[in-house]
Chain A
Amino acid sequence: MAEIYLNEIAHGRSGDKGDTSNVCVFARKPEYYAIIAREVTPETVHRHFGDMVKGEIVRYDLPSLGGFNFVMKHALGGGATMSLRLDSLGKSMGSAFMRMKIHVEDGEI
């Protein structure tokens, strides 16, 4: 078993709607979809972000696109101009997400 960054097997993009951040996460290869489904859950994502994300996290599964959509509420310090963060629009939430450490079995990737 090995610990890797999610970035190695996934890619995606973050967007903002008010104080809600969405991050779409796609498998870099079709066989990685199952690993992401297993390792990247609302619970593990919440643990990764800690108090950076204050609200609920919902995962939507999109097997036909080989990916997932994560919707994270109260994740942008207020959102848009209200946020005091440098990245008030959460443009880097996508890369922050991909920094999550996940576990893969030997031979899985």
Chain B
Amino acid sequence: MKKVAIGGGQGFWGDSPDAAIHMIRRADIQYIACDYLAELTLSIMAKQQIKDPSKGFAPDFITRLLKEAGKEAWQKKIRICTNAGGMNISGCVSAIREWAAAEEMKGYKVGYVTGDSIKEKIPQLLKEGWTFPNFDYDGDFNSIVDKIYNVNAYIGHEAIEQCLEDGADVVVTGRAADSALFLAPLAHEFGWLDNDWDNLARGIMAGHLLECGGQGAGGNFMYDWRSVPHMEDLGFPIAELTEDTFEITKAPDCGGLISEQSVKEQFLYEVLDPANYLTPDVNVDISQATLTQVGPDRVRVGNIKGKAKPKDLKLCVGYHKGWKTVSMLSFAWPDAFEKAQYCADIIMKKMKKRGMKADDVHISYIGVNSLHLGVADTSEKAMKDLNECVMRIAVFSEDKSECAKIIPEISPLQLNGPPGASFFGGRAHVQEVMALWPTYVPRDVLDIQAHIQEV
């Protein structure tokens, strides 16, 4: 029976390429898919591209991954799908071609998919009466129109599959849905039709379990993180599918863990309603799914169902929201927490005198409550004999100059405040705050195209 194996090579832009390289060298796989795009990554890339038009994609896909193991992947006929193209797909394709030419890989085929970025279509859509309602909050889209960095639709697997049909060795996309990068090779290999919902759902869940890299193989593992072997060589997960079966495993000779619990924790990661997990390709129902350990580092996934895909596509709009400044000062025993609180109070009194108009201020104490906030234990008993504590004040304003007012007020507290204050993390600087406007768009607005170039 035909078996297809695909590996997850990357969990986000900035992730380690080590597991993907190991997989190419040691695992019996036919495909790797590498996800580089988190919710705000495209906005960051768009901002980079404004400053320098040659930027706007994930260059480390080429400089770290392909350079190290891309030629070996090609020789072994392991094909790669990635959304590393980000906001600059042509820039990414050029960089891949340059690398392949330098490696003398004649005949290497680079597929790419265009059409997910639709910022230039916004004025026309607004004119036609489309309102871009926000999923999360009320608000008028017109209020952000002038501040938009990027508008990208989450697109499905079809055009990626087309590139593979056309013989691509690597396929580059922009905002393809993470899981579509994995579904495309599976649909291509098994010949799944675009309305074979149960099979498309299986392919999406293979992608879902792999798209976060190490998190699907024992990374970020709450159940028993101490039991995960060799996290310094953490392997990333591999999905093996036949027409009837679907199993998760990992490469030989690497760290990590594939167990019922490790797969479970990733299974519902960033899922909302498990009976209606919406993707551009299919509406997935995992509400009756099963996970069974069938061997060492091998878990079988069962009972995944699919329903017709949603008629609209999710659209992610990144825009300029305002500015923020984060300032920190550290304190030590005795009374570390009390001194840090006292210091924050002094700073806020000073800011009041300076007339700082912040739209939002968030004060927390690293070592006490900066992660768990109100759920943290700040009782007298827990705070007694606390070794260290870092005061953290974050200020947000739409006006950059308001955010800058707090910066010179922090370091003087080393001499002018409670004892033992130490300037932490260097002088603060004003950072841009970008935000997302999650909305949707009809499919027919997009003009998705598959292309191929040969080296």
Contact = CB atoms under 8 A, between A and B. Distances in A.
A24 B265 contact: yes
A81 interface: yes
Query: What class of interface size applies to chain A in its complex with B?
Result: 35 or more
B423 to A, nearest CB: 18
B222 interface: yes
Contact of B434 (A15, A26, A60, A81): A81
Nearest to B223: A11
B222 A82 contact: no
Interface in A1-59: 11-13, 15-20, 22, 24, 26, 28, 48-52, 58
Query: What class of interface size applies to chain B in its complex with A?
Result: 35 or more
A84 B366 CA distance: 14
Contact of B289 (A26, A50, A65): A65
A12 B222 contact: yes
A13 B321 CA distance: 29
B379 interface: no
Contact of A18 (B39, B224, B271, B274): B39
A92 B436 CA distance: 21
A20 B273 CA distance: 12
B298 interface: no
Contact of A85 (B273, B286, B364, B434): B364
Nearest to B371: A92
Contact of A11 (B261, B272, B375): B261
A28 B223 contact: yes
B372 A95 contact: yes
B274 A62 contact: yes
> Which one of A22, A65, A67, A80 has the greatest number of beta carbons of chain B within 10 Å?
A65
Interface of A: 11-13, 15-20, 22, 24, 26, 28, 48-52, 58, 60, 62, 64-65, 67, 69, 71, 73-74, 77-82, 84-87, 91-92, 94-96, 98-99
Q: Which 6 A-B pairs have the closest CB atoms?
A: A15-B270, A84-B362, A24-B268, A84-B394, A11-B223, A92-B371
17 contacts: A11-B265, A13-B268, A17-B272, A17-B438, A20-B272, A22-B270, A24-B268, A24-B269, A50-B375, A69-B271, A69-B272, A86-B366, A86-B370, A86-B392, A91-B220, A96-B375, A98-B222
Interface of B: 39-40, 135-137, 215, 220, 222-224, 261, 264-275, 286-291, 303, 321, 324, 326, 360-362, 364, 366, 370-375, 392, 394-396, 433-436, 438
Given A67-B264, A82-B436, A85-B394, 16 more contacts: A11-B223, A11-B261, A12-B265, A16-B39, A17-B39, A19-B137, A22-B268, A52-B373, A60-B275, A65-B291, A69-B271, A79-B136, A81-B434, A81-B435, A86-B371, A96-B372
